Amino acid sequence: MAERANPLAARNDALILGIDPGLRVTGYGLIAQSGNAIEAIDYGCFAINPRLPLSERLASLFGALQDVIARHAPSEVAIEQPFVAANAHSALAIGEARAVAVLAAGLAGLPVQQYSPAEVKRAVTGYGRGPKEQVQEMVRLQLGLRDLPEPFDAADALAVALCHLSRKRSRALIERSVAQ
C-alpha cells in the first residue's frame, strides 16, 4: 500500500504499528485511531533474502523497521508472538525476528505489547483458529479497505494492530468503570 497523507493520522489518538515477524518475510501495518474512527495508514512486507547470513538478515530487518518507525512516528507497537509448534528451528527464527522488532521499538522509546496468534485472530474474527483468509477479510471490513490487504503477512500485521487497539479500548473501559 502506498503511504498517503491523511488528516486522520495528523490528529490521531493512537498511531499503532503492528508487526508480524519472520526471517523471510515480516509484515507491518500502521493504523490510526481518532475517536471512534480507525484507518489503515500504511502496510506491506519486508522480504529478506534467505540466502544471506543470519546476521545480515537481522540487520536488514532492523534497518527496515527503523525506517518505518522514523517515517511514521507511531505511538505504540504491537508484535505477534511466535506460534511454537513442532518445528523448533522455525520458532527460533521467528523469535529472533521478534527480538529485532522489540529492539527497534525499544530504541525508539515506544511501548511494546505482544499478542499470541490465537489472541489476534479472536480479536479480529471472534474465533481463535480462523483461517488466514478470514483474518484478511475481517481486517478489510474493519478498516474499510476496498481491496484485501495483501500479502497475508501484511494483513496479519494489521490484525495485530487492531488486536492491540481492541485490548487498549477494553482496558480503558474497565479503568473508567472502576474509577466511578
* Active centre residues (catalytic): 20, 80, 153
Owner of C-alpha cell 497523507? 5
Give bridge partners of residue 16 from the DSSP assignment. 31, 76
Using DSSP's 3-state secondary structure scheme, residue 45 falls into strand
Q: Which residues fall within 8 angstroms of residue 81, CB to CB, at 6 or more apart? A: 98, 114, 115, 116, 117
Q: For residues 165 and 14, is the Cβ–Cβ distance under 8 A? A: yes
Q: Nine-digit cell at 35?
A: 475517536
